[in-house]
Amino acid sequence: MSNEVHSIIDLLMEDFPAIDFAAGPLLAGGAHRPQQMCVRIPPDHLLEVMCFLHDDGRCAFEQLCDLTCVDYLDFPNAADRYGVVYSLLSVSQGHRLWAKCFVNDPAPEVPSVTSIWKGADWLEREVYDLFGVRFTGHPDLRRIVTWEGFEAHPLRKDYPLRGQGERVNFERVTRDSA
Amino acid sequence: MTSTQQTSFEAAPATYAPETPGGDVWVLNLGPQHPATHTTLRHVLELDGEVVLSCTVHIGYLHSGFEKLGEHLNYNQYVVVTDRMNYVSPMANNIAWHHACERLFDIELTPRCKVVRTIMAELARIQDHLVCVGCSGLDLGGFTAFIYPFNARETINDLFEEICGHRFTTSYTRIGGLMQDMPADWPEKVKRCCTKVLPPALVDLEKLLTRNRIFVERTKGIGYINHDDAIAWGLTGPLARASGVRRDLRKDEPYLCYADNWDGKGSSAVDFKIPVSRGGDCLARYLVRLAEIRESINIIMQLADNIPEGPVDVLADEKIHLPSKGRVYSSIEGLIHHFEQIMTNRGLKPPIGEVYGANETANGELGFYLVSDGGNTPYRARTRPPCFVNYQCFPNLVVGHKISDVIAVLSGMNIIAGELDR
């Protein structure tokens, strides 16, 4: 399994010589865990690389298994703040690859991959909702698990665990005001 | 099985032209408090008569910030939160969570622990499928078909209660092991459940539903999705397999007793088949779930007879696992060891890095993406919930169908809001 992924990473480096993929395992070492490979893709090349990974028969990543984000605000030695993590899966060949796309404040923006994988729709909306990373080209970028009109992005590291008083300050609808 | 109505995304766009142009379009709000939505799901349906023209799904009514909470609880404490995700089969969530944690800590479980976890995972799968199949019957008007599987499920809940003290909020796993070993007579009770309780219940269920003309006509050709779309939308689990996607993490990325040489002595993996259907509709999902229950019973029967002896906790004497309450209350070493584990400035320190671990649960691939900064709590604890990913293609499954079919599709998908919203 890992040989196939290594050959895919070689393919990527051949086809996109201008990009520094910084390929490496998500977590190095270990006797019992499988090696999970990750590449780094800059946001301005994201769509072309993702198209290649989806369309090329040797890669054949037909499924976007997961799309999430990590806020590296307090992480030791982190250079960028938001890392959007794509977990790609090839159903036909059974291999997985992780891809990370780093963006920063004040306007974190990543191109949307909904045109490549339909299943990216809600996953991108969730990341937008909870992290505030915008996905350009998303057909319907609305909040998904919190309510409309909520302004914060709760999974950011600078958002407190107990909230910012939303529960106390929530607009109350009474019989008279409704 | 062939489907009568082959709607794909090209054939049926998300909006559907009304038969009578200029006619009244009704907007109907289905949920979030509606008996057939089971949990807090809300759909805004545009209707032309009874035909659904468009469907907009609103979720988030049960959002509880589990992932935020995961950043403040340690790797053993968070298992309590995973119970609340898919509350129909909480045991499978416990096992999936600690599967990911053990990848992070790089721990290989003991053979006995693997067998117990495999049996528990399969019992959870049966439990989940029984609820889903029963509710499919209930939502289509067959109350009896709901009661029969619920009766059988009660036995599984009793088995869980006996082994860990809880029927639903099990919290049974710990890093590198289990909360406690099973009682001595427990395997016998599992076998009795798998031979005396579940098979007759399945026979009854099949008599009530499988060839029931009302049930078949309400589910056949309803909510169709083809093989390629199922993959593109990220479907996993019974939904994908009902559309002909031959994928099951138990075979494709084997773990526990689904992998060869699981006990280190060359034992072969448990023998089972992956039920796949090409139907792609609600009926196919029902049939795949039924077949999976039978395969799960088969897996449990293979394991229940020869559970290896030995400890369930790996490295119980070293400082990986929480000490037993007996040791904590009766020895100074046990007490120190306990505090070393639970105090917020102590505890287990994993390596710095990221890891993804996924299990095949009843609804599909339940994965956890853990980011560790070397502290005793995860830096980020992402859940890859099968329901959330599966549910997003829902509007495409119901557009063009009648409003009563919305209920049939919904109950066939088995959406659990606890996992959907987290």
Q: Does A75 touch chain B (CB under 8 A)?
A: yes
Partners of A26 on chain B (C-beta within 8 Å) are: 353-356
In a domain, B53, yes or no: no
In a domain, B5, yes or no: no
Q: Does A32 touch chain B (CB under 8 A)?
A: yes
DSSP B194: I
What does the alpha-carbon distance between residue B279 and residue B3 come to, in Å, rounded to a whole number?
A: 6
**B234:A65 CB<8 A:** yes
What does the alpha-carbon distance between residue A44 and residue A13 come to, in Å, rounded to a whole number?
A: 16
Q: Does B251 touch chain A (CB under 8 A)?
A: no
pLDDT at B333: 85
In a domain, B7, yes or no: no
Give percent of chain A above pLDDT 70: 98
**From B69, which residue of chain A is nearest by alpha-carbon distance?**
A161
pLDDT at A35: 84
Q: Does B13 touch chain A (CB under 8 A)?
A: no
Q: pLDDT category, A10, cuts 50, 70, 90?
A: confident
Neighbouring residues of A54: CB distance < 8 A, sequence distance ≥ 6:
A61, A62, A116, A117
Q: Does A27 touch chain B (CB under 8 A)?
A: yes
Q: Please give the full DSSP string across A139-156, using - where no structure is assigned.
A: TT---SSS-TT----TTS
In chain B, how many domains are there?
A: 1
What does pTM read for this prediction?
Answer: 0.88
Closest CA of chain A from B232, distance in Å: 6
Q: Which of A130, A144, A157, A158 would you mutate first to test chain B, the one with the most B CBs within 10 A?
A: A144
Give the pLDDT mean for A87-101: 90
What does the alpha-carbon distance between residue B145 and residue B212 come to, in Å, rounded to a whole number?
A: 11
Backbone phi, then psi, for A9, in 5-degree steps?
Answer: -65, -40
3-state DSSP helix/strand/coil % of chain B, to nearest 5: 45, 10, 45
Sign of CA dihedral B207, B209, B294, B139: negative
User: What are the DSSP E strand ranges found in B8-141?
Assistant: 26-30, 42-48, 51-58
| Structural domain range at position B203 | 66-421
Q: Does A126 touch chain B (CB under 8 A)?
A: yes
Q: Which helix (H) or strand (E) holds A64?
A: strand A63-71
- Interface A-B, measured as beta-carbon pairs within 8 A, has a size of 121
Omega of the bond prior to A17 within 30 degrees of 0, cis?
Answer: no
In a domain, B252, yes or no: yes
> Three-class SS of residue B174?
strand
Q: Which CATH number fits domain A2-169: 3.60.70.12, 3.30.460.80, 3.20.20.140, 3.40.50.1820?
A: 3.30.460.80
Partners of B252 on chain A (C-beta within 8 Å) are: 94
**B67:A130 CB<8 A:** yes
Q: Please give the full DSSP string across B126-141, using - where no structure is assigned.
A: HHHHHHHHHHHHHHTT
Q: Does B314 touch chain A (CB under 8 A)?
A: no
Q: Which helix (H) or strand (E) holds A86?
A: strand A82-89
CATH code for position B86 = 1.10.645.10
pLDDT at A125: 92
**A32:B421 CB<8 A:** no
Closest CA of chain A from B106, distance in Å: 6
- Digit-coded pLDDT (tens) for A22-46: 888 888 887 888 888 899 999 998 9
| Closest CB to B369 among A64, A85, A147 | A85
| Closest CB to A63 among B67, B231, B374 | B231
What torsion do the CA atoms of B260, B261, B262, B264 make, to the nearest 10 degrees?
A: -170
What does the alpha-carbon distance between residue B86 and residue B68 come to, in Å, rounded to a whole number?
A: 18
**From A117, which residue of chain B is nearest by alpha-carbon distance?**
B232
Alpha helices in B61-89 (DSSP H): 66-70, 79-83
Q: Does A68 touch chain B (CB under 8 A)?
A: yes
Q: What is the ipTM of this complex?
A: 0.90
Give the largest CA-CA distance in chain B.
81
Closest CA of chain A from B393, distance in Å: 8
Which of these, B21, B166, B168, lies nearest to B83 by C-alpha position? Answer: B168
Which of these, B228, B128, B151, B138, lies nearest to B410 by C-alpha position? Answer: B138
Q: pLDDT tens per residue, chain B (422 residues)?
A: 333 343 333 334 455 555 555 567 888 888 788 777 777 888 888 888 888 888 889 888 888 889 999 999 888 889 999 998 888 889 999 999 999 999 998 888 889 999 999 999 999 999 999 999 988 888 888 888 888 888 899 999 999 999 988 888 898 998 888 888 888 899 999 999 999 999 999 998 888 888 888 889 888 888 889 899 999 999 999 999 999 999 999 988 898 889 888 887 888 888 899 999 988 899 999 999 999 999 999 999 999 888 888 888 776 555 666 777 888 899 888 888 888 877 877 777 888 989 999 999 999 999 999 999 888 889 999 999 999 999 999 999 998 888 888 988 988 888 888 888 88
DSSP-derived pairing of the beta strands A24-25 and A37-40: antiparallel
Report the 10 Å Cβ neighbour count for B10: 7
- Digit-coded pLDDT (tens) for A95-150: 899 999 999 988 899 999 999 998 899 999 999 999 999 999 988 888 899 888 88
**A70:B104 CB<8 A:** no
What does the alpha-carbon distance between residue B263 and residue B265 come to, in Å, rounded to a whole number?
A: 5
Q: Please give the full DSSP string across B323-389, using - where no structure is assigned.
A: PPHHHHHH-HHHHHHHHHHHSTTSS--PPSEEEEEEEEETTEEEEEEEEE-SSSS-SEEEEE-HHHH
**From A158, which residue of chain B is nearest by alpha-carbon distance?**
B68
In a domain, B4, yes or no: no
Partners of B379 on chain A (C-beta within 8 Å) are: 70, 74-75
pLDDT at B49: 83
pLDDT at A111: 93
DSSP-derived pairing of the beta strands B42-48 and B26-30: antiparallel
- Point out which residues pair with A67 in neighbouring strands: A86
Q: Which of B225, B227, B392 would you mutate first to test chain A, the one with the most A CBs within 10 A?
A: B392
What does the alpha-carbon distance between residue B222 and residue B244 come to, in Å, rounded to a whole number?
A: 16
Backbone phi, then psi, for A93, in 5-degree steps?
Answer: -110, -10
State both tokens at B110. Answer: 């003991």
In a domain, B278, yes or no: yes
In a domain, B33, yes or no: no
